[in-house]
Structure formats: structure tokens, C-alpha cells
Amino acid sequence: MSSTAPWVLDVALGLAHLHEKSVVHGDLKADNILITPSLRACIADFGLSSIITSCSSLRFTNSSQKQGGTIRYQAPELHRGGDNNLRSDIYAFACVVYEVQLFPL
């Protein structure tokens, strides 16, 4: 993981920043992570992103859609009709990390 660790950290910090601002990306996947010339990772494509509008304990809802994004990165609850939320972004992030470890660049 040593060669991908900086990218993983960049994406984790970027996702944390989005979540601090109440933004759910909604389609985090390897194709939506861009590597800059200085080898920093940036999250891109906010076409399915949404703002969290309500919170009750650990349940989050968003303002726009029930679900969206790339099926292979979707949390299981989205396949059962759940909402995109902070936890589904984290699940997608874990899928990206797993994929990068299996298929390094």
C-alpha cells in the first residue's frame, strides 16, 4: 500500500471535508478520482452529490435523490432502496481502496 497510501489519504481527507460541509458525493469511484501532476488525488464529478438536509441519530437523508451512482461501488442498503448518505460514501471509498490494492496502477 505504500505507493497508493498518499492517494488514499488525499481522498479520505477530501471525503471528510465534504462530509463536514454536509455534502454527500453519491458516486465515489476510482474513475472520479483524479491524480494531479504533483501526484495528489482529487475527488471529481459531483453530478450526483447532494446536501444533507436532516439528521436523526445515525440516519441521514439527502435533498435530491434516493440513489444513484455506479452499482459496483454502492452500499448494499442502496440496492434495497435506501438513500445515498455519508455511510454509503464511506462504503464506496472502501471499495476504491480495495480496488486499488487489487489492481495497482
The answer to whether the CB of 50 falls within 8 A of the CB of 63 is yes
Which one of 27, 31, 83, 89 is the catalytic residue? Answer: 27
- Does 89 qualify as catalytic in the annotation? no
Radius of gyration of the chain (CA): 14
Gap between the Cα atoms of 88 and 4, Å rounded: 22
C-alpha cell at 97: 481502496
| Catalytically active residues, by annotation | 27
